[in-house]
Structure 1
């Protein structure tokens, strides 16, 4: 029996160039998201962290449209969020976590958001980060996104999600095992 090859978390030179081109173009088109930051600084940081490029590529291929939304002066890290207008298409119809997935006896979703985010090398947005994203534009007018759920809520079987309706960000709850075609998750990555 042949052992499966471990998935490489390195992009090829061609994949790296293509991703950097997409990110640079998005950065230039959305300057209001990252005023005062320079693409050359972002690119230098990305090139020095190839494993982070792999994670950004995962965000991109699942249609998250990652973009720089901030800079942490304490750590020197640039902060990327999924900035697609609606929930990333490649990350919808997931329940919240493994426990929720295992609890479903029938009609199981494809995956869960906690493990999917971890496999991509990103973290789920928190409610606070989701609200920050909504300050940069209008997102999720038709979809919703699971967000990092506080432990005390999860221990009781629930999970929280957010969306934007009526020019307002709403936070809701559901059983963690639930999933919907219009609900996904957004990630955050610090580079």
Structure 2
């Protein structure tokens, strides 16, 4: 994601907002099994009350995430929106894990890091638990993989974790945080 993209991430024209909300509503109604007890009117009310979240939602959509509502956190009173694209979002691949990993690479640096790009988009990487929750809603990352939020103790030792789905099973793996691959991106969570 370029600096220019980051600087303009929150600015949506009225037509862009309408198109984004129409697309979100259509996806919400198409994939009812992801949120069987929730209604679009509640989601729409939260988005209307938090217009700054639309920029993040737009960034998720623009980078291929196909965001959708996957639940409601009763404690925080927020809807959870995850990237639900079949494979790790194409606009967020070939990234190392975080800024420290990006800086540690001496040659062949990727364009960005997963943590940095997520922060610029106003979202968080899914945790392993959230990733496994997503996988209960369908079969995701059958050909790709996704960085997930790495526990501090693993990151302090130079590692990072990622997940995918193979053989009808969700796997968690490790890699050096500075590594990056064309088939590995990240999935995010937006709370509204």
TM surpasses 0.5: yes
Q: Which digits, 9 at most, give the CA deviation of each residue in 1:82-104, with x for residues without a partner?
A: 00000000000000011111111
Report how far residue 8 of structure 1 moved: 5.9
Aligned positions of 1:92-171 closer than 5 A:
92-171=93-172
* Structure 1 unpaired stretches of 5+: none
Three-state SS of the structure 1 residue aligned to 2:52 is: helix
TM-score normalised by L of structure 2: 0.95
Q: Which ranges of structure 2 fall in alignment gaps of 5 or more residues?
A: none
* 1:89-127 deviations in Å (ceiling 9; x for gaps): 000000001111111111111110011000000000000
Corresponding residue number in structure 1 for 2:71: 70
Instruction: Give the total of aligned pairs.
Output: 187
Residues 1:25 and 2:54 aligned together: no
TM-score (norm 1): 0.95
Which residue number in structure 1 is paired with residue 10 of structure 2? Answer: 9
Moved runs in structure 1, 4+ residues, more than 3 A? none
Taking the aligned partners of 1:75 and 1:102, their CA distance within structure 2 comes to 35
**Aligned twin of 1:185:** 186
